[in-house]
Structure 1
Amino acid sequence: MREKALLRSLKNIALVMLVLNTSTMIAQKKNKKNKEDKTEQVKDSLKNSKGQKYDDLIKKGTFKKGLFNTIQVKTDLYLEINDSLFQREFLVVNKISNVPLPVNDAGLNKGMNYENKIITFHKDLVAKKVWVKSSVPKVSSPVGDAITASVNSNFSESIIEVFDIETKNNDSTSIVIKANKVFDGKQKSFNDVLSNIGFGGSVKSDLSYIESVKSFPKNIVVKSQLTTSVAEGGPALSVTIGVTSNIILLDKTPMPARFADKRVGYFSEKHWYFSDSQHAMLEKELITRWRLEPKKEDIEKYKRGELVEPKKPIVYYIDPSTPKQWRSYIIEGVRDWQAAFEKAGFKNAVIAKEPTEEDTDFDIDDVRYSVITYVASPKSNAMGPAVVDPRSGEIIESDIIWWHNVMTSLQSWMRIQTGAIDPKARGNKFSDEHMGEAIRFVSSHEVGHTFGLKHNMGASFAYPVESLRSPAFTAKMGGTAPSIMDYARYNYIAQPEDHVEAITPKIGEYDKYAIEWGYRWYADQTEEHNALNALIAKHQNDPVYFYGEQQDGDSTIDPRSQSEDLGDDAMKASEYGLKNLKRVVSKILEWTYDKDESYYQTGKLYIGAIGQWNLYNYHVLSNVGGIYLNTTVHGDNKQSYVAVPAAIQKRAVSYLLNNSIKLPEWLFFNPILDKTNPLKDSPLGPYEYTPYTLARELQYGILYSLLSDDRLLRITENELFQRNEAKENVFTVTQLFKTLHQNIFAPTIQNKSLTIMERMTQKNYVDVLIVSTNKLFEKTDAKKIIQLEETLSMPHLCDYLDESKMARNINQSSLKRVSEVTSDKKGELNQVLQLLKTKRNIGNQETRNHYFDLIQRIEKALNNTL
């Protein structure tokens, strides 16, 4: 009985299981059918969405094949996206194509790249949408590591745009979206031109439109005219800016990255690395460079050291709007880099040419073409930025912007720096040949940036000052510094009797070394790492290969790495420079003579000469409280921080007292002033500086910088670390103040009546001490001084990117109120006060009035800061 009952129970269970399984199978089939039906419904809805079938849409418009097939129906732009392109990475590159006068006047011009971003497209058939996401690709982790899941979650993409799916193609391998809104200014997701150029506001859609579209195998180019309204203290002004948006398909596998080394100057992209084996995240920087590789059939030749042509050379096109007389010089400036790339193993790696009839698709705004764009603008500059794949640092394209008025800067530099030794550099207008050679130098400099090279402001320190007076040395080295990436302009050191002819910057040994380090190809990563380190080690003790970062000119720490300087001794170089400058000033009226013309050119050249004098002052000034900053690694036996020797600092102070604080009369009070004041261009026309006012303000600026808190703190810190050195080997704040005091107040100590200039110097000195101990005045007056220095500074190229902001950050000035600086400055004020009280009744009336004024100022200042 039990067995039968058990058997019946088993049969019942089996029957129940059979029913359940059958029901499950029926349900699964039903669900599958429902899903299939739903998919078909989605497909059908795509076929007929908004009543537009694919074939009908093409019949209505203009169809072009490319990366995205484009369909233009009247004013509507449709993009057809193939299924293979979804979730692929694209780079959006936005450039300015044309501008009206107000934008041009603001310094924005054709060819300038203002916004790049990585995007991906994602198809959603259920919602009938295409989602566009963007990311910052600076994070990597190994496939298979556990942490990779966390990396994906914590560094995910963000949705920036969505499109409706309009229809699909006939074999359902692509879908079509309407893309107007991201190109005509309605949406900022792909192109936010106004925010990126600093205008703000929004685009007026009714006054904006898509101008044209081109589609190629790996990119599309969409040009638009976008209008906004700008009101700057007056009636609203309509401003239309032509923009070009390129969408580029990036390679699935990025170019192998090369990691930056601070001892070689390359621009770089930061990257974070995560892995399971780490104890902490690894941060590295990828240098920016072109993808130069030997052809497959040439790899063995390359490894043997033979020169080979790269698989894909770097090609620059000359803008057809470039004046014909300058084209060959610009091309030669590019070709001059061939020798540097041969050091990296490649011949014919760099090509510059004018577009020909064979370049049927040539378009300056197309990222397939790197162009040296010539810009009609009053701006005096040139720059060489690059479009970079942020995943690897690969340079995809470069646009050198060449402003027409850059020649005004070149002419000013040559007249002031070489006019004393070169008759070709004296007149109001140079020959085309002479200007052409200057254009060639600037072309080489800017092209260097497009290879990824940063400024090397330390290169010029490699050459001894006296060697720059040698015809044999300068002819052999071929330039003013070992790197054209320095701001080592023209040879202002050579004297007329030296007969030096090689006075123009050239591509030098550092440039060749840097290109070899950045571009030599290696098949193996370990081999690359070892070879690059060995290359640096081979040259680390040779000053010709030294790399010095660009610094903030207002707070230079390392005097070796300065803009516009020459040679290894700023005092000696500046003394030679002053001799030549004095010759130039004596000839300004003669060189600028132009019958029946105004003295505009005279006043402009005159203020340029004053600016050059001021440049020498700051080259010297940086040695006071200076520190040599060395980029060191374990095992190189170098010191990272070395105080400028005391003897050099004392010589620097002596130079400043004799040539700067004591103002040169030949510069500020001369026959030129019978005809014109120094002139500086402004939006309202030439701006005149009277000599007394200009001299007073420039002297104030020198004293203010000399006694800046940061400089005094560096001197104090150096004294602390050199406390075991012999006394004569240490330069102190006390010595600085004692030297200045004895010199500036020498006529007072000697019981003399003071001249106007002597009274001016004493007032400036006392006021600097007062202001720099009073934060409110410091903020107000320091700003004015900085503005004046910027007004008189020599024009700089490449100011689109301030590399000094990327330099080393060294905190030396926190809690200054409890440092020695406050005591030192108040102590000096008290020393001056005691001297003036004993001399208050000595000298003529003007001198006694002056002492009375200073006594009151100092007493008030000391009482207010107690």
Structure 2
Amino acid sequence: MKYTLLVIGFFFCHTGFGQFAEKSKDYTKYEGLFSFYYDAESDKAYLEVKELEKEFLYVYSLSSGIGSNDIGLDRGQLGNEQVVYFKKAGNKLLLIQPNLKYRALTENALEKKSVEQAFAKSILFGFPIVEEKNGTFIIEITDFLMQDAHGVSERLKRTNQGSYSLDKSKSAFDLSRTKAFPKNIEFDLMLTFKGEPKGGNIRSVAPNAELVTVSQHHSFIELPDNGYTMREFDPRSGSYPFTYYDYATPVEKSLLKRFVTRHRLEKKDPNAAVSEAKAPIVYYLDNGTPEPVRSALLEGGRWWNQAFEAIGYKDAFQLKMLPDDADPLDVRYNVIQWVHRSTRGWSYGSSITDPRTGEIIKGHVSLGSLRIRQDFLIAQALMNKPFAQSDDNTNPMLQMALARIRQLSAHEIGHTLGFAHNFAASTNNRASVMDYPHPYIALTNGVIDFSQAYATGIGDWDKTTVAYSYADFPQGTPEKEGLNSILENAQQQGLRYISDQDSRPMGSAHILGHLWDNGSSASEELDRMLGLRAKAIDNFGMDNIRKGEANSELEDVFVPLYFFHRYQTEAVAKSIGGLNYNYAVKGDGQLVVAPLEAKEQKKSLKSLFKTLDAEVIAIPSAKLSLFPPRAIGFNRTRESFNGKTGVSFDALSAPETAADMTLGFLLHPERASRLIQQKSLVPDQIGLKDVMEGLEAEVLMKTHKDAYRMQVQKTINYRVLFHIMNLAAHKEVHPQVNAIANDFLRDLKTTYMSSSDADLKEMARRISVFMEDPEEFEVIAAPKIPDGSPIGMDCAN
């Protein structure tokens, strides 16, 4: 009986194979890394698997997106890369992702297995075997490909846009982007998500927000050979670390291994001082990019070749136009993609890397197409009567915007070459394209000058990072010795490197790591910018827009000018309680950590108080007649002023927003706690009490003869009060912060209660209410500051 069943089983298997082979004659066959078949009648795909347990790389991505920066699902967005392999289990092939985070690099097979069995792996999918013949398996992969691998529905839910699920009846293969090549195969599918829209962002970009269709891409990629050499990571190098744990490491050494992330690059002639590369690093620009942006991106991106030339490579980095028939998501192409969104959003550089080694297989840059318009707008606001004589006088603004685009191209490509941000570079003679630069606008003989707005060419720090990641060393020179020499040379040149976690305006304290700042002295640059801003505001008028444009647009042009000082203010605020430190290693001779000198902190505090002075931040009353209620068809956007006066322009809310920005940085709870510590260690340093006394003397007691400016000052003063109350009630600060803030409030209450001024009495009343129940206190929100970053954040940014 058992023998009979076995024969019948064999018969069915053999018959099934014959049936598929017969049917597949009508299917479209693609031959590549894996061969696969597409059945148009059923819209199904079948994969041919010839080798089990052979690892390859699986990557999912979006080939078409949603178009909203806030939702964050962009055309060309890469998902996670995963090493996977097929394994047979019963009547299925399992797609297994091994756990590469934990390894045992040893010749001892049992030691390797002990680590492999200690940590979980992931089975990504189980595929029923359609047929098998001579060790070749046919599996249907339609359900695997037609799933929400990229997490679109989860992202829509997380961004409060509604609850969506995949509607397979409205989803299908896109054969125009489904291809096979010897080292990779590419599948593309149109996926429709059905749901109940709740958010305004999805409604603003989808023609029917109940049915949102995007395209998802799947890549199966041959893993690189073992010719790549990993290079040790150093925290001073400016590179991204690639890490894993090696449990075969001797006890006296760290389990965690760190290496740089980089492309493979080798000289044709290793002994030559200058040599071409065996395989140059070639990037391709999206052929949908328009001029003059196209030329600017090509020029800026090619700056990187300067750094490779400096380490002895000829034409090792190249930038070309993407062939018309090439797919930007094809792993064979490093791509710079021009991405459109409904609102201005970030640009970022991402990569597909080999999870085994950190080798970059594909660099993929996404550049937001609306970014150039922000720089154009900044220049338009700053220019003195640009359209007085002609509406065609756009070239000065365009040239500044294109200068920014060149820098942006180099910046994002830098990420895909393996380099992290260096936010100290702007304080160091613009030493790196990996900073976020703010346009440096000069006032030359009373005239606004854009000629130095953005740096040109690769920076000295960029040459250091390229040398560390990609340089070859003479025969006989140990690599570690050569690498250390590169970093020591950079140190001797005075180059500084400070990256993301030490540079964000909230929650960081480094005195040099800032976003969108300029100058070696943050406070001196803020003073200079405030003077420039005042001059530009004085010049501002109807000739900052073209003839026939609505005054409502003039108001929006004014926004980046009014808040021109915002990012330099962040930099100055970080000086208060700020620290100077390096990513030092033992024996390198660098400063480890020290507070900023008291004299510099006091100078910074003085500069910050200017941004809380109505004389500085009140919009001149003569300019208010430029801003009538918004015209029909010209509604406010996220980049417009916000206010409390309904349709009319709110002259008090703009300075309230500006002041709240300063106070949010200056009286940040973490900074307040640092000031307690700082004062205790160095009595001559600024302490929290000094800051509050300064606010009282330089802000709260400030008076103005002009009634309008006095009302602006009172608006500012209320913001001061709210932020001090916040410190008085905050639960995550040192109790000494609460004590100083509460003591300050009690003194203010006593002083203000006896005043005849209605606003001072109101402040006293609010302090009394606060003190009765501080647990219930929440800072009353100021009108939101408009979006306005002059450059996008990455990945990566």
Give the TM-score taking structure 2 as reference length.
0.85
Partner of 1:673: 624
Q: Could you tell me how far 1:517 is from its partner in structure 2?
A: 0.8
Is 1:207 matched with 2:170? yes
Change (3 A) 1:395 1:155: same
Secondary structure of 2:165's counterpart equals coil
Corresponding position of 1:259: 232
Q: Give identity over the alignment, percent.
A: 22
Deviation string for 1:39-66 (max 9, x for gaps)?
9987765432375253x24423222221
2:654 to 694, 698, 714: 694
Structure 2 Cα separation of the partners of residues 532 and 707 of structure 1: 42
Aligned residue for 1:664? Answer: 615
Letter in 1 for 2:276: E
Match among 438, 462, 465 for residue 404 of structure 2: 438
Find the aligned partners of 1:404 and 1:177 in 2 and give their Cα distance: 41
> What CA distance in whole angstroms lies between the structure 2 residues aligned with 1:129 and 1:158?
16
1:827 maps onto 2:746 in alignment: no
Name 2:729's counterpart in structure 1: 774
Q: d(CA) in 2 for partners of 1:427 and 1:739?
A: 49
Deviation at residue 280 of structure 1 after TM alignment:
6.6
- CA contact 2:375–2:404 (8 Å) conserved in 1: yes
Q: Does 1:300 align with 2:271?
A: yes
Cα deviation, 1:643-666, whole Å, max 9, x if unaligned, reads 111111111121122x21112357
Residue aligning to 1:744: 699
Q: 1-side partners of 2:446 and 2:640: how far apart?
A: 37
Change (3 A) 1:740 1:430: same
2:733 is the alignment partner of 1:816: yes
Output the CA distance in 1 between the equivalents of 2:156 and 2:265: 33
Mapped pair 1:378 → 2:338: no
Correspondence for 1:711: 671
Choose which of 45, 60, 66 in structure 2 pairs with 1:77.
Answer: 45
Alignment-derived partner of residue 24 in structure 1: none
Cα displacement string for residues 355-376 of structure 1 (whole angstroms, at most 9, x for unaligned residues): 458xxx6222212112222233
Seen in structure 2, the aligned counterparts of structure 1 residues 601 and 592 have a Cα distance that, compared at 3 Å, is farther
Of 432-441 and 695-704, the range deviating more from structure 2: 432-441
Who is 1:320 aligned against? 287
Mapped partners of 1:580, 1:81: distance in 2: 67
Cα separation, partners in 2 of 1:424 and 1:829, compared to 1, 3 Å: farther
**Superposed displacement of residue 272, structure 1:** 1.0
Letter in 2 for 1:194: S
Q: 1:526 to 1:391 in 2, by over 3 A?
A: farther
Mapped partners of 1:531, 1:516: distance in 2: 10
Q: Offset of 1:286 from its aligned partner?
A: 2.8
Please state if 1:734 is matched with 2:692.
Answer: no
Q: Look up the equivalent residue of 2:690 and give its one-letter code.
A: Q
Q: Which runs of 5+ in 2 are unaligned?
A: 200-207, 644-649, 776-797
Secondary structure of 1:456's aligned partner: coil
Q: Which amino acid aligns with 2:288?
A: S
Displacement of 1:754 in angstroms is 11
CA offsets 1:287-323 (integer angstroms, 9 cap, x no match): 221111223xx1222xxxx221222212222222221
1:217, CA displacement in angstroms?
Answer: 0.8
Q: Is the 8 A contact 1:629 1:642 kept in 2?
A: yes
Q: CA deviation at 1:343?
A: 2.3
Rounded to whole Å, the distance in 1 between the matches of 2:638 and 2:491 is 51
1:763/1:211 CA distance change after superposition, 3 Å: closer
2-side partners of 1:175 and 1:107: how far apart?
38
User: What per-residue deviation string (whole Å, max 9, x for no partner) do you get for residues 15-57 of structure 1?
Assistant: xxxxxxxxxxxxxxxxxxx99x999987765432375253x24
| Mapped partners of 2:216, 2:557: distance in 1 | 38
The one of 467, 488, 504 equivalent to 1:537 is: 488
Q: Secondary structure at the match of 2:614?
A: coil
| Other structure's SS at 2:539 match | helix
- Alignment-derived partner of residue 504 in structure 1: 454
By how many angstroms is 1:557 displaced?
0.6
Larger radius of gyration: 1
Contact 2:384 2:540 in 1 (8 A): no
- The SS at the match of 1:63 is strand
Change (3 A) 1:439 1:70: same
Deviations 1:366-415 (A, max 9, x none): 12112222233333343221112222111111222223212212213444
CA contact (8 A) 2:235 2:583 kept: yes
Q: 2:752 aligns with which of 831, 836, 858?
A: 836
1:245 alignment counterpart: 218
For 2:332, the equivalent position in structure 1 comes to: 368
Over 3 Å counting, the alpha-carbon distance change for 1:708 and 1:635 in structure 2 is same
Query: Secondary structure in 2 aligned to 1:554?
Result: coil
The alignment partner of 1:202 has SS state of strand
Q: Match of 1:619?
A: 571
Match of 2:61 in 1: 95
CA drift of 1:260 comes to 2.3
CA distance in 2, matches of 1:502, 1:425: 25
Q: Which residue of 2 aligns with 1:513?
A: 464
How far 1:216 sits from its partner (Å)? 0.8
Counterpart in 2 of 1:457? 423
Which digits, 9 at most, give the CA deviation of each residue in 1:670-720, with x for residues without a partner?
433202179998669966541202212332342343223211211221223
SS in 1 for 2:211: strand
- Give CA-to-partner distance per residue, 1:118-174, whole Å, 9 cap, x none: 2111134xx2321111134222322234642321111353222111222245xx252
Cα distance, 1:192–1:547 mapped onto 2, change above 3 Å: closer
The Cα of 1:226 is off from its aligned counterpart by: 0.7
User: Counterpart of 1:703 in 2: which secondary structure?
Assistant: helix
Question: What residue number does 1:408 align with?
Answer: 373
Counterpart contact for 1:318–1:352, Cα < 8 Å = yes
What is the CA-CA distance between 1:252 and the residue it aligns to? 5.0
AA in 1 matched with 2:462: D
After superposition, residues 565-604 of structure 1 pair within 5 angstroms as 565-604=517-556
Deviations 1:163-220 (A, max 9, x none): 1222245xx25221111111123xx5x6654336767643111111122231111110
Specify which of 298, 321, 324 is matched with residue 354 of structure 1. Answer: 321
What is the letter of the counterpart of residue 505 of structure 1? A
| Aligned equivalent of 1:142, options 105, 108, 115 | 105
Match of 1:194 in 2: 153
Counterpart selection for 1:114 from 76, 79, 82:
79
Q: Residues 177 and 863 (structure 1 numbering): CA distance in 2 closer, same or farther, change over 3 Å? A: closer
Distance 1:764 1:502 in 2: 36
Give per-residue Cα distances to partners, 1:596-646, cap 9 Å, x unaligned.
220233212211112212333222221111111321111234442211111
1:343 maps to 2:310:
yes
1 CA distance for matches of 2:595 and 2:639? Answer: 46
Question: Which residue in 1 is equivalent to 2:437?
Answer: 488
Amino acid at match of 1:369: Y
Q: Answer yes or no: is the 8 Å Cα contact 1:632–1:640 preserved in 2.
A: yes
After superposition, the Cα gap between the structure-2 partners of 1:46 and 1:57, relative to the gap in structure 1 and judged at 3 Å, is: same
* SS of residue matched to 1:654: helix
Match of 2:270, SS? Answer: helix
Question: For the Cα contact (< 8 Å) 2:189–2:215, is it kept in 1?
Answer: yes
Cα deviation for residue 521 of structure 1 reads: 3.5
C-alpha offsets along residues 433-474 of structure 1, whole Å, 9 cap, x if unaligned? 5544432222112211211111111111224xxxxxxxxxxx
1:510 CA displacement? 0.5
Distance in 1 of aligned mates of 2:350 and 2:542: 40
Displacement after TM superposition at 1:815 (Å): 5.6
In the TM superposition, what whole-angstrom CA distance separates every residue of 1:732-756 from its partner, at most 9, and x where no partner exists? 2232222222233546999x99943
CA–CA separation in structure 2 for the residues paired with 1:523 and 1:210: 52
**How much is the aligned-residue C-alpha RMSD, in angstroms?**
3.6
**Match of 2:660, as an amino acid?**
Y
CA contact (8 A) 1:513 1:545 kept: no
Q: 1:183 aligns with which of 141, 145, 148?
A: 145
Where structure 1 has 5 or more consecutive residues not aligned to the other structure, the ranges are 1-33, 464-480, 776-813, 842-846
TM-score, normalised via structure 1 length: 0.78
Matches within 5 A, 1:4-23: none
Mark the CA change 1:61 to 1:764 in structure 2 (over 3 Å): closer, same or farther: closer
1:69 partner letter: S
